[in-house]
Amino acid sequence: MTFLYHELLFRPLFNLLIFLYNSIPGADFGVAIIVLTIIVRVIFFPLSIKALISQRELNKLQPKIKELQEKHKGNKQALGQATMQLYKEHKINPLSGCLPILIQLPVLIALYSALGSGLKPESLTALYSFVSHPLNINQTALGFLDLAKKSYMMAILAGVLQWFQMKQSVASQAQPSKNEPPSPALQMSKQMLYFFPVMVIIIAWNLPTGLTLYWVAATVFSIFEQLYINRKYRVNSA
């Protein structure tokens, strides 16, 4: 399993990262990280969009699910059957939002490992024969970021962007009426709105800037994904 992970995921991504570094004018490893992040996110764009759309469709059904919960209160079996029938009628798979994430997870782990190994000279032995071996890797990105060291500024930026992305996600969910309690999904999202960005800052606080830069680039891409879905959703609902 380790061999397959190394050869099918880590090594191709690592080679693509070094190839980008060799190809991009100015030999900026930070730009290579950003470009690689965009390439990976574009490849998974259809899956990410499917997950976001699925979540929105599930949010739209929350009022009907609440009605079923009241109707079958105390009867979990009947509630489960009625809920599955509701999903079937609206052609929604409640697990479809999780599947894209599960598919992407091994690739994201490999990408994370590739970024962590990019500045280590001993890792260059994993290069394919057709990928040029760089004489040295410039650790300064965008003219001022040392990718091998910690950057508290980048850690805070990662947390702020994560908060904005999650706030955007919460705003896109179906909001309850004045006298209705929020759905469990909405409650969870609101609880994570501040907790998760703080966790991101704490984690990024001790990470090399190269890895934090990847997180920042991926979060920015997610923000634009959500904007795209919001616009498409409004158009289709008009």
Distance CA 94, CA 236 (A): 21
Tens-digit pLDDT profile for residues 18-33: 899 889 888 888 899 8
Paired tokens of 194:
């501040």
Is residue 148 within 8 A of residue 168, CB to CB? The reply is no
Which letter, b or e, does each residue of 27-57 get, where b requires 16 or more Cβ atoms within 10 Å of its Cβ?
ebbbbbbbbbbeebbeebeebbeebbbbbbb
Distance set, CA 4 to CA 90, 106, 111 (Å):
39, 11, 15
- Looking at this protein, which amino acid is placed at residue 99? L
> Length of the chain, please?
238
Would you say residue 95 has pLDDT above 50? Answer: yes
Full domain range(s) for residue 129: 2-237
9 or 116: which leads in pLDDT: 9
Residue 228 dihedral angles phi and psi, to the nearest 5°: -60, -45
Q: Number of structural domains, the chain?
A: 1
Paired tokens of 65:
């699910």
Model pTM?
0.77
* β partners of residue 146: 140
Mean pLDDT of 95-103: 65
Distance CA 220, CA 227 (A): 11
Q: Find all residues with CB under 8 Å of 207, minimum gap 6, and list them.
A: 150, 155
Would you say residue 58 has pLDDT above 80? Answer: no
Let me know the angle formed at the C-alpha of 34 by 29 and 39, rounded to the nearest 5 degrees.
120
Residue 178 dihedral angles phi and psi, to the nearest 5°: -60, -40
pLDDT-derived band of residue 187, with 50, 70 and 90 as boundaries? low
pLDDT-derived band of residue 153, with 50, 70 and 90 as boundaries? very high
Distance CA 79, CA 63 (A): 14
Residue tagged 């990019």 (tokens) = 118
* Helix (H) / strand (E) containing 146: strand 145-146
Note the pLDDT of residue 35: 92
